[in-house]
Amino acid sequence: MTMYSSSMILDTLEHAPRYAHLHPLFARAFEFLRTAALESMLPGQHEIDGDQLFVSIDHVNGRGRDGARVEAHRRYIDIQVAFDGTDDIGWLPLAACRSVDEPFDETRDVAFWKDRPDTWIALPPGRFAVFFPDDAHAPLGGHGPVRKAIVKIRAIGR
């Protein structure tokens, strides 16, 4: 049993402590995001607490809304934060996804859908978005360069 369902969160990092009760590792994840020198971290995966909590740093260009792929994860919750540039991210409930593009890949913990988001959010520096396993999302829906951190938190019971 999990403590959450399809309930994407969008807020500012200054309000992050109000979400600490949702998962035992959220407080540590948000503390990392507030204190780490994200700008100086190289792209790639960086361990925080083994496979329970880690961060992926991306320096990429947006693909535009038409190029952003809808994805979802089973084992991990994403906390996404852009620290340079703005990431436009699409969202829709995973239950609304009907057309599989790439089936779930256990090793990469991701599946992709052809479905299109019904909601788009702008994620400029200082804001974060949390995507739970029941949230499908399409990152990199904007244009231009974006540098971002994706904190991956092992979902309870997954």
pLDDT tier, 157 (very low <50, low <70, confident <90, very high otherwise): confident
Report pLDDT digits (tens) over 125-147.
999 999 999 999 999 999 999 99
Q: For residues 83 and 148, is the Cβ–Cβ distance under 8 A? A: yes
* CA pair distance 80, 89, nearest whole angstrom: 10
Report pLDDT digits (tens) over 38-80.
999 999 999 999 999 999 999 999 999 999 999 999 999 999 9
**Please, what is the average pLDDT of the chain?**
94
Question: So what's the pLDDT on residue 7?
Answer: 82
Q: In the predicted model, what is the mean pLDDT of residues 94-100?
A: 96
Report pLDDT digits (tens) over 98-115.
999 999 999 999 999 999
Q: Which domains does the chain have, with CATH numbers?
A: 9-154 (2.60.120.370)
Residue 146 corresponds to which tokens in the numbers above?
A: 């974006």
> Percentage of the chain with pLDDT > 70?
96
- What's the per-residue H, E or C state across 67-129? HCCEEECCCEEEEEEEEECCEEEEEEEHHHCCCEEEEEECCCCEEEECCCCCEEEEECCCEEE
* Helix, strand, coil share of the chain (percent; to 5): 20, 45, 35
pLDDT tier, 5 (very low <50, low <70, confident <90, very high otherwise): low
